[in-house]
Structure 1
Amino acid sequence: MRVRRSSAFRAAAILGVAVAVALVGAAQAIATPSLHRYDHVVIVLHENKNYPDVASGTNAPYLQQLAAQGALSSQSFGITHPSQPNYVALFSGTTQGLTGDGCPNTFKGKGNLFQQLGAAGISYGSYAEDLPSTGYTGCSSSKYMRKHAPWVNFDNVDKTKQWPFSSFPSDYSTLPTVSFVIPNMCDDMHDCSISTGDTWQKKHLDAYAQWSKTHNSMLITSFDEDNFTSVNQIYTSFVGSNISAGKYSEQIDHYRVLRTLEDMYGLPALGNAASRTAITDIFTG
């Protein structure tokens, strides 16, 4: 016997197909192509300088030379003001509700990049200038500030992976797979000039930048925020192997950088990074 289907039934079926197609399309839209996986990525963060003053001003010749060797984002932005929420956003995908630079903060069981890497068996670590000892959890020491070292705030991060910058190896092959470098309050340009930070990075990290080009590694140089403008545009460059040199105008932020690192190592996207796509066009394969 032939069953007659009502117009309502047919409409529902058509709607179901349409929804399914839309969902597939959405999934395809956010899917990220396979990213090149580096043996070593080092991320160095500076402080509170406007993009034009670094990218084209007279006081940052080294960072401009560095950008010319790799990929420079001409549309990179911080998340908010002041400093600390930006570091936490880059590290964990949210600001964790922070609106200031107060210390200490403790986030219990919250997802973050180092926790993800450790769970996946991938090495990680941080190198902070003027950190008085490995695993130090105090709010400040000399020109070191905990507010610029977000990993200290998370209870699921191994504190023995938090080293003074004096421990940064000369044999770069011994670096963790992913590591952060935090200059002190002068050398990160917060308390001192752009020229001071520019000179510091050339002295301490240029050798790694050059080595990275032939050793499947990458250096990311960025800032937490600009100098408190509403635009919040910052310098961000990528130098290393498998990078297509040039200036890129697509908009990126700390969440997109985090998403890129997560996709690179097969990690789930955290927080607001889940609504971003990885940066892909700067890589050659």
Structure 2
Amino acid sequence: MQSAFLFGTAVLALVRSASAATAQTFQPPASSPFAQSGNYTGKSNNTLQNGPVVPGKLFDRFIQVWFENTNYATAQSSPAFQNLSQYGQLLTGYYGVTHTSEPNYIAAAGGDFFGGYNDDFCASSLSRPSAPLTRPADAIPSNISTVVDLLEEKNISWAEYQENLPYDGYTGYNFTSYDYIAGTGTYTYYVRKHNPLIIFDSISNVTERALRIRNFNDFANDMSADAIPQWVFVTPNLVNDGHDTNVDFMGDWINYWLNPVLADERFNNNRTLILITFDENEVYSVNNNVWGFLIGGALPTNLVNTTDNTFYTHYSSLSTVQANWGLKSLGRQDTNATVNNVFSFVAEATGWKNNDLVGNSTALPLLNLTGGYPGPLNNEYYVQFAAPNMTAVGAGTGGVFVAPSLNTAITAASLSAPVNLTAMNETVPWANNPGYDYPNGTQSYTTSTGAPSPTTTTTTSGAGAAAAPAMILSLVAAGAMIALA
């Protein structure tokens, strides 16, 4: 099995290399990060409205900026990333949680990747590349909670800024627009798989929430109005995040966009903490260490130009936010003591006890495995969504958040054995087009398709039954990577 896994990851790496790092020359999409541009496709319709600032224990604003598919050493070799590291704290023990891209983004928003292992690039309407495709990526049902539920319970404002999103709340799988780099033709700059919140129906199917998923024209407008909210997730487009280019191209974008906004108090004031990192590394056959970095006015001055080798993962962004604002947890991997370490200076100030793992420890869980974790987004080891662990203790010590419509009797322990939907010629229920979108700022339905209830039970026997790999089950039993709950 191990040799098959290594072969499979090698093939995936070759496929990725063939489609990424194309020879393109960086071109600024706008005159500055603070200016609107037709290259961003969608206009800004309004200024974001936020409530009063809710003070945190260490910071009042938390911003994440994610890049794509790069090994730690490659990022660290870049002059732009090296320059950044002088002004903050380098997290040498930071890890993605799986492969491919989309499950990592899902994990950072929902506290688990739910067995996902692909980007679900399964569109059936390729003849209309500039229109919403008929089958977007996973649409996680509305009773599965996210960080947004935790933030809103404490009235903490939030937003996403997705470069080249065609309009606020866009639910399509990707969007192809004018190729501003080549100056002719079209290019797919935006993809849904790098937009964590839109994948959850609890956000994308609620108009006032969906419209807080915005593009970079909105960002320029919100900066001008000093309206950047308290929790922010930023995704550059497919060339600027390095997915289709390389680390040097990312460096040019850092110099053009990131460095100027870091120097602006409307984005980075003395109560702002910013995490800059990557979704995953490029080489699947090694564990998933990625470049991670903390910067911002809220970072203690004694930590500037230092390194921290504590073992962190994408779940650490959730647990750190929970510790800072005293939030509830999601009761999933954000409460798994193996993978939820809080950023050290926040843990020390809030009294949270991290584990003793460091980034080069031989005891780290394997975070480069792909496709072997049972879950509701895994076609070959499918199980339904389970309720969170109601007895879990999170870094915010505020209990576990549960959506009112969730059946808490469906626990990880109560689930049936995984089933192989591929063998049954079926797909996971959550890969359907949810059928709604926001082209005019209000919800409209484009199809009649919809996902079945998340409490539906799937059972089978014979060829459809799937046994989870022994290695995965041993990790689950040990509590190292509980993917089901």
Same fold (TM over 0.5): yes
Equivalent pair of 1:125/1:176 in contact (CA under 8 Å): yes
2:140: which partner in 1? 107
Q: Work out which of the residue numbers 53, 60, 65 in structure 1 matches 2:83.
A: 65
Q: Residue 242 of structure 2: which of 189, 192, 206 is its match?
A: 189
Q: Partners of 2:86 and 2:236 in 1: how far apart?
A: 23
1:14-163 matched pairs, under 5 angstroms: 36-55=57-76, 57=77, 60-102=78-120, 103-108=136-141, 109-142=143-176, 143-157=189-203, 158-163=209-214
Q: Does the 8 Å contact 2:110/2:146 carry over to 1?
A: yes
Partner residue, 1:180 = 233
Query: Hey, which of these two has a bigger chunk of strand by percent?
Result: 1
Query: What secondary structure sits across from 1:156 in the alignment?
Result: helix
| SS of residue in 2 equivalent to 1:221 | strand
Q: Which residue of 1 aligns with 2:333?
A: 272
User: Aligned pairs, how many?
Assistant: 248
Which runs of no fewer than 5 residues in structure 2 stay unpaired? Answer: 1-55, 121-135, 177-188, 204-208, 350-485
Partners of 2:61 and 2:225 lie apart in 1 by 9
Distance 1:172 1:283 in 2: 33
Aligned residue number for residue 223 of structure 1: 278
For 2:241, give the aligned amino acid: D
Q: Deviations over 1:99-145 (max 9, x none)?
A: 11013211121111122212221110001011000110000002100
Q: 1:21 maps to what in 2?
A: none
- 1:209/1:218 contact within 8 Å kept: no
Distance 1:104 1:129, change over 3 A: same
Q: What is the CA–CA distance in structure 1 between the aligned matches of 2:348 and 2:271, rounded to whole Å?
A: 12
Q: Give, in angstroms, the shift of residue 198 of structure 1.
A: 1.6
> Percent same amino acid among aligned pairs?
26
TM-score of the superposition, structure 1-length normalised? 0.81
2:288 to 232, 236, 242: 232
Letter in 1 for 2:151: L
* Secondary structure in 2 matching 1:87: helix
* TM-score, length-scaled by structure 2: 0.49
Equivalent position amino acid for 2:218 in 1: S
AA in 2 matched with 1:149: N
In the alignment, the residues of structure 1 paired with residue 269 and residue 333 of structure 2 have an alpha-carbon distance, to the nearest angstrom, of: 33
- Offset of 1:164 from its aligned partner? 0.8
Q: Which of 307, 322, 328 is residue 262 of structure 1 equivalent to?
A: 322
Deviating 4+ runs (over 4 angstroms): 282-285
Distance 1:206 1:36 in 2: 26
Is this contact kept in 2: 1:131–1:144, CA < 8 A? yes
Deviation at 1:172, TM superposition (A): 7.7
Q: 1:167 aligns with which of 194, 218, 241?
A: 218
Displacement of 1:250 in angstroms is 1.0
Distance in 2 separating the partners of 1:172 and 1:79: 36
- With over 3 angstroms needed to count, the CA separation of the structure-2 counterparts of 1:284 and 1:170, relative to structure 1, is farther
8 Å contact kept, 1:36–1:283: no
Partner of 1:210: 263
Measured in 1, the distance between the counterparts of 2:101 and 2:269 equals: 34
CA contact (8 A) 2:89 2:294 kept: yes
Question: In 2, Cα distance between the equivalents of 1:187 and 1:170?
Answer: 20
Post-superposition offset of 1:220: 1.1
Q: Distance in 2 between matches of 1:282 and 1:155?
A: 31
Deviation per residue, 1:182-201 (Å, 9 max, x gap): 01111110101111112112
Change (3 A) 1:54 1:282: farther
Once the two structures are TM-superposed, the CA of residue 42 in structure 1 deviates from its matched residue by 1.6
**Structure 2 CA distance for partners of 1:217 and 1:199, relative to 1, 3 Å:** same
Q: Distance in 2 between matches of 1:54 and 1:186?
A: 15
Query: Which stretch of the first structure deviates more once superposed, 103-112 or 184-193?
Result: 103-112
What are the Cα deviations for residues 44-99 of structure 1, in whole angstroms up to 9, with x where unaligned?
Answer: 100000001111x1xx2222211221111111111111111111111111002211
More helix by share: 1
Distance 1:277 1:221 in 2: 17
Higher RCO (CA < 8 A, seq sep 6+): 1
Structure 1: stretches of 5+ with no match in the other structure: 1-34
Q: Following the alignment from structure 2 to structure 1, what is the Cα–Cα distance between the partners of residues 272 and 335?
A: 25
Task: Compute the RMSD of aligned alpha carbons.
Answer: 1.9
The structural deviation recorded for 1:215 is 3.0
